[in-house]
Amino acid sequence: MRAPCPGNSTRKVLGHPLVVSIASCDSGYHGSVIYDGAAFAHQLHQSGIPFVVASQFPLSFAGSVVMVRELYQKLMCGVDPRMALHALRAKLYARHDPGVHDWAALIAYAALPDDLSSQLVELCYLRARQAIGASMSYVDAGIDAISGGNLNQTDKENDLSDLMTHVDLATRRLPNAPDFLSEAMGLRGTVDKRKAEPTSALVK
């Protein structure tokens, strides 16, 4: 009887993710650079997960943290997975940790759709819209705190400026692609209007 493939079993547990990263740290090191993470990643990819990132030998603890933070931050913003992986390699290489080769350990198995570019633009727009909504909620909460505090007008305006920075950063993420140009322009207009409301309230 054939033993079940670990990749298939893990896929059943994970469900239907689009991306999986396997960050193997020093805790998986057994005195040899031979590690079966690559084979497991291949099995996950064969089981139907489009993009699997793993390492050919154990990552350092610090490297695994950088891997997850940098990779998912870019993927969640709609960056091309190939560009995200390249940027991650560069980030790890720039660390110049003695005796650590995390940048060289990274491997990826990918089966990207033909319409990847259009999917990424749509994801970029949706994520930017969500970020704008979250940042405006953050601003609203901050306005209540500023209004209720014993601050002079200058301090209030400075605190408000700091809050608006989050909104501006989220707004800059809106794509300029033709398919979302009108939606992005409308959202920018809505953001400008909402930004003016708390400003005028504090000035009064």
What is the per-residue pLDDT for 176?
Answer: 83
Question: In angstroms, how far is the first alpha carbon of the chain from the final one?
Answer: 78
- For residue 17, is pLDDT > 60? yes
Question: Of 9-13, 70-74, 79-83, which range is least confident?
Answer: 9-13
Beta partners for residue 53, in sequence order = 21, 108
Q: pLDDT at position 1, please?
A: 36
Residues 149 and 71 in one domain: no
Relative orientation angle of helices 181-203 and 153-172, to the nearest 10 degrees = 170
For residue 146, what pLDDT is reported? 64
50 has a pLDDT exceeding 60: yes
Alpha-helical (H) ranges within the chain are 6-14, 37-46, 61-75, 81-94, 102-105, 116-148, 153-172, 181-203
Q: Which two tokens stand for residue 196?
A: 């003016």
pLDDT band at 27 (very low <50, low <70, confident <90, very high): very low
Q: What's the domain count of the chain?
A: 2
- Residue 1 within a domain: no
167 and 146 co-located in one domain: yes
Q: Choose among 73, 105, 85: nearest CA to 173.
A: 73
Average pLDDT taken over every residue of the chain? 77
Residues 97 and 159 in one domain: no
Name the percent of the chain lying above pLDDT 70: 74
d(CA 146, CA 140) in angstroms, rounded, equals 10
Model pLDDT for residues 52-67, shown as the tens digit of each residue: 888 887 888 888 888 8
Q: Which residue, of 112, 136, 162, is where some domain finishes?
A: 112
pTM for the complete prediction?
A: 0.66
pLDDT of residue 88: 93
Answer whether residue 69 is part of any domain.
Answer: yes
pLDDT digits (tens, 9 = 90+) for 150-197: 656 666 667 777 778 888 888 888 888 888 888 888 888 888 887 777
Residue 54's pLDDT is 85
C-alpha–C-alpha distance, residues 138 and 161, integer Å: 13
Residue 100 and residue 128 share a domain: no
Sheet holding 19-21, edge to edge: 19-21, 51-55, 106-110
Domain limits for position 58: 6-112
Residue 54: its H or E element: strand 51-55
Inform me whether the pLDDT recorded for 73 exceeds 70: yes
Q: Is 106 helix (H, G, I), strand (E, B) or coil?
A: strand
Do residues 94 and 141 both lie within one domain? Answer: no
